[in-house]
Chains A and B, each alone.
Chain A
Amino acid sequence: MPTVSMTVNGKTVSADVEPRTLLVQYLREHLGLTGTHVGCDTSQCGACVVHMNGESLKSCTILAAQAEGADVTTIEGLANGDELHPMQEAFRENHGLQCGFCTPGMVMSALDLVQKNPDPSEREVREWLEGNLCRCTGYHNIVKSILAGAEALRG
């Protein structure tokens, strides 16, 4: 089996995997990073969003082999020890979740938005979230959380 190596959350990792292994399987099953979720498995729901080379993507729709040599960040890579990332803190503070299943993808997607658009309007946040579905339909507080997280990150 081919060896696939990449940097995940700042650490160099390597595993022998079948070519058909998805990035999300590599993260969850080989590295034990189960914060990245598999929801719909059809690139629609966004529970599996991670960052690769600084941009968000759906890790259920890319092969681990395609991420060879890449720099990947998952939800586990955000907090600084016990100190939550400002976007995570904003989700906690604003109760930006109900069941929590979509939350890791929401947070990772939100961070890609605010790096491109540090001061998004509510409408821009809602449009950006077209690739992230919350089955509990808890969008209201998710949007509030992202606006608060963006504000915190602007400092």
Chain B
Amino acid sequence: MYQFNYQKAGSQDDAVSAAGSAEDPKFLAGGMTLIPTLKQRLAQPSDLIDLSGIDGLAGVEDNGDSITIGAMTRHVDVANNDTVKSKIPALAHLASHIGDPQVRNRGTIGGSLANNDPAADYPAAVLGLNATVITNKREIAADDFFDGMFTTALEEDELITAVKFPVPDKAGYTKFPNPASRYALVGVMVAQTGGETRVAVTGAGQDGVFRASDIESALSGNWSADAAKGVKMSDADLNSDIHASAEYRAHLISVMASRAVEAAG
């Protein structure tokens, strides 16, 4: 790792003002992707501002037709939360399969989204369930939040405080994990909410998470595993690496989507 300054913020205001006065700051939540990124010298922030000491950023709130999850809520706490399990079981399922138990004990939803790793699970949940990302400045719709690999609509001193998920009529998430890291080679969230069908794919796209509009069209006419499986995805903008070719990922998208539909019921 390159050198950096470390400080622990006591409040949201502290964190934002520390970010404002630093040359190239990064907020540190659970650190489950940021620290590996620093270790590989893929990033060189001047300052890390640790958010773990800020009160009120963790927890799940039941708003009836939506649930709000605080940005610092850990994956293990989303996975085990009764409200999440009863209202959006697909989201609890997704959280329970991120990384491994030790990663889930540290990683947070806000950190995962701000980082927008192209193979992370939560971006598929936010885009597929049409969630709203709430920051210290504004509310950002899922369709406007993700801006390509490791890039989001967030400004440098903007802090995610919570994520609001509308409760879907049906939703399912299935991923094909890398056997060592458990990152998604391909992960697909399918959801039906008030007549709208959304299908979000993580792990596969060169620009990170994206909506598979062909599968969305197929499923809106015919919500079935076969309809999803019948869509032949193009491999044009998909990742190819040592783990899987673009062609294989394209195939996996339809298969994972069909299994997600089965899981959604």
From B29-37, B155-163, B229-237, the one touching the partner chain is: B29-37
* Complex alpha-carbon distance, A20 and B34, angstroms: 12
Count the A-B residue pairs with Cβ separation under 8 angstroms: how many? 76
Decide: A130 and B182 in contact? CB cutoff 8 A: yes
Total contacting residues, chain A, CB less than 8 A? 29
Task: Say if the beta carbon of B5 comes within 8 Å of chain A.
Answer: yes
Q: Which residues of A23-50 have CB atoms within 8 Å of chain B's CB atoms? A: 41-44, 46, 49
Distance from A77 Cβ to chain B, minimum over Cβ atoms (Å): 17
**B6 proximal to A (CB < 8 A):** yes
B86 interfacial contact with A, CB 8 Å:
no
**Does B38 sit at the interface, judged by CB under 8 A?**
yes
Residue with the greatest number of chain B CB neighbours at <10 A, chosen from A22, A62, A131: A131
Name the contact of A65 in the complex, choosing from B6, B36, B100 (C-beta under 8 A). Answer: B6
- B101 & A130 in contact (Cβ 8 Å cutoff): yes
A61 at the B interface (CB under 8 A): yes
Complex Cα distance A68/B62, Å? 33
| Chain B residue with Cβ nearest A59 | B102
Contacts of A41 in B (CB 8 A): 39
Q: CB distance B101 to A128 under 8 Å?
A: yes
Provided the pairs A20-B1, A44-B180, A130-B182 are in contact, do residues A63 and B100 lie with their beta carbons within 8 angstroms?
no
CA–CA, A20 and B6, complex, Å: 8
One of A2, A22, A49, A128 near B6 (C-beta < 8 A): A2
Q: How far is the CB of B36 from chain A (nearest CB, A)?
A: 6
Say whether B35 contacts A63, CB under 8 Å.
yes
**Contacts from A to B (Cβ < 8 Å):** 2, 18-20, 22, 41-44, 46, 49, 55-58, 61-63, 65-66, 68, 109, 112-113, 128, 130-133
For the complex of A and B, the 8 pairs showing the least CB-CB separation, nearest first, are A131-B100, A19-B6, A20-B1, A130-B100, A58-B102, A65-B6, A44-B180, A55-B105
9 contacts between A and B (CB under 8 A): A19-B4, A20-B38, A43-B102, A57-B102, A57-B105, A63-B31, A113-B101, A128-B101, A130-B101
